[in-house]
């Protein structure tokens, strides 16, 4: 069973003799191995979604050790050329998602504009008492009621992002009774008359902890891009604080400098 992924024959992965002869012997073998497959990916010979043969098969095919294979695979994973899923193996990565965290377009709108299919699954939703951390980010008192919503976002069926949303519940009573697999921006506007816009945004590389790693189907410690931002309403009051945990190999941050300069000129 291959879960719908294409698994090519191991013979399709052969390295031509002329390629081997042209290699610089001073370059470590795992880098030569990596360069060969990176070229195949760039040429489209290995399409997105193709499942790599097992490590043992690759080692036997190319008469190298499994240690060398793992070094090459780790290098390609770090570069986003391939990705690994727990208990499923290695796959050729699809094109990265272009993402502007400063834009007011929803996740679904952004992905659809790129000709791809966005999906959302609600992992959990609950009303809780605000912690000290939530109090600091939402500007509410410790113990105030807030809504916590966790969602998994997918692109073309692949899990790419875990989102944790913290919302002032007094501003949108009954929110948890609505379907939450839709655009939160649209929902807040249509049901509660709240016009959202994004304020301060912070980004940093991190490693996935157990909960988001499990939701994304990857190992704990997998590299990730962490993004957090405050969401303001039309009165410039903090309404929501969002956290996003992106697969590092799924995202390409694209911020429009022209748009930012135009906004600054109009201030």
**Domain span at 186:** 97-266
Assess if residue 2 is contained within a domain. Answer: no
Q: Which residues contact 107 (CB under 8 A, 6 or more apart)?
A: 118, 120, 153, 161, 183
Give the pLDDT of residue 130: 97
Beta strand pairing status for 223-232 and 197-207? antiparallel
Give the pLDDT of residue 5: 39
Question: How confident is the prediction for the chain on average, in pLDDT?
Answer: 85
Residue 226: phi and psi, rounded to 5, are -100, 130
- In this predicted model, what pLDDT tens digit does every residue of 132-176 receive, in sequence order? 999 999 999 999 999 999 999 999 999 999 999 999 999 999 999
Assess if residue 117 is contained within a domain. Answer: yes
Assess if residue 147 is contained within a domain. Answer: yes
pLDDT above 60 (res 7)? no
Total domains in the fold of the chain: 2
Give the pLDDT of residue 267: 55
**Bridge partners, 166 (sequence order):** 148, 241
Radius of gyration of the chain (CA): 22
Assess if residue 173 is contained within a domain. Answer: yes
Task: Tell me the C-alpha distance between 135 and 140, whole Å.
Answer: 5
Residue 63 sits in the same domain as residue 115:
no
Highest average pLDDT, of 52-61, 131-140, 251-260, comes from 131-140
- In this predicted model, what pLDDT tens digit does every residue of 101-125 receive, in sequence order? 877 778 888 999 999 999 999 999 9
Assess if residue 4 is contained within a domain. Answer: no
Beta strand pairing status for 251-253 and 97-99? parallel
Q: What is the pTM of this model?
A: 0.78
């Amino acid at each position: 069973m291959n879960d719908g992924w294409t698994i090519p024959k191991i013979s399709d992965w052969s390295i031509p003799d002329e390629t081997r002869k042209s290699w610089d012997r001073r370059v470590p073998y795992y880098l030569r191995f990596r360069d060969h497959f990176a070229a195949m990916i760039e040429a489209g010979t290995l399409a997105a979604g193709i499942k790599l043969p097992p490590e043992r098969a690759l080692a036997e095919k190319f008469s190298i050790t499994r240690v060398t294979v793992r070094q090459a695979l780790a290098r390609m994973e770090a570069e986003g050329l391939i990705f690994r899923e727990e208990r499923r193996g290695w796959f050729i990565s699809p094109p990265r998602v272009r993402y502007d965290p400063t834009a007011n377009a929803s996740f679904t709108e952004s992905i659809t504009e790129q000709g791809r299919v966005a999906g959302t699954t609600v992992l959990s939703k609950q009303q809780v008492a605000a912690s000290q951390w939530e109090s600091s980010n939402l500007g509410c008192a410790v113990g105030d009621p807030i809504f916590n919503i966790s969602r998994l976002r997918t692109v073309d069926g692949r899990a790419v992002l875990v989102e944790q949303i913290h919302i002032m519940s007094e501003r949108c009573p009954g929110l948890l009774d609505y379907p939450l697999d839709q655009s939160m921006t649209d929902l807040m506007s249509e049901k509660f008359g709240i016009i959202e816009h994004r304020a301060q945004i912070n980004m940093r590389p991190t490693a996935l902890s157990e909960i988001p790693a499990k939701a994304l189907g990857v190992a704990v410690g997998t590299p990730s891009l962490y993004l957090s931002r405050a969401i303001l309403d039309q009165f410039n009051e903090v309404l929501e604080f969002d956290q996003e945990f992106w697969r590092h190999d799924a995202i390409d941050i694209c911020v429009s400098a022209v748009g930012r300069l135009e906004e600054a000129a109009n201030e």
